[in-house]
Structure 1
């Protein structure tokens, strides 16, 4: 997901007060921000499982299975 962070109101005022020297406004897309929030919340829920957060497994396919199982448990709980 692309970088998308809303600009603070005081930064908007400062940029507006500087006029043409204030630069271009940041490209904030509300829909991208919502998707980013959804992804971050899902990852944080997965990190609630110790095996996913610490990654003790040496092999990638075992870790992928652990993540899939954790995702399934999160999905069934909701």
Structure 2
């Protein structure tokens, strides 16, 4: 089965995720929750997503795992 050239090989993807992304996410330092919450923000540039994200961080007392697609670009050269 061939993979498109803009996709990482599954083994490389797993390695990058486990060895580079997860440690920087501080996921291992976060506790588990019986009823976790997710906040998904989307919108055009300048719409106020950053301010909303900061408000959510304050409200949740930094007990969050932030997944920012822009921050993940460094791990995939074609993005």
**TM-score calculated relative to the size of structure 2:** 0.31
**Structure with the greater relative contact order (CA < 8 A, sep ≥ 6): 1 or 2?**
2
**TM-score calculated relative to the size of structure 1:** 0.31
Please state which structure has a larger fraction of its residues in helix.
1
